[in-house]
Amino acid sequence: MTKPLTVAELYDQPPLMPVWPTFGRDVLGLSQSGTYKFLAEGRLPVQAIPVGRRHVVRTADVLAWLHLPASGDAAGSSHPTAPEADPVRTQS
């Protein structure tokens, strides 16, 4: 069994990720047959796009479904930085 993708790994994905294995196995934790069954029944949580004989999903849609910001930079840091002092301002 493979490990699910981390949030950082999700942000490293290309704009389109394959339904299998990346989305089905690594994001949803489904088997290949389960993934394709959900695809055939229209039950995947994001829209699948046919590309030739394969299907892909938009990484941005996956991030939105997971309630993650579209950009990894917007995700915020666990270590907030202090605001920089304004060298022009003087205390009165």
Domain edges within the chain = 7-72
Contact at 8 Å (CB) between 34 and 24? yes
Close Cβ partners of 71 (under 8 Å, ≥ 6 residues apart): 11
Using one digit for the tens of pLDDT, what is the confidence trace for 36-70?
A: 999 999 999 999 999 999 999 999 999 999 999 98
Whether 5 shows a pLDDT value over 70: the answer reads yes
State both tokens at 32.
């290949």
pTM greater than the 0.85 cutoff = no
Query: Tens digits of per-residue pLDDT, 12-32?
Result: 999 999 999 999 999 999 999
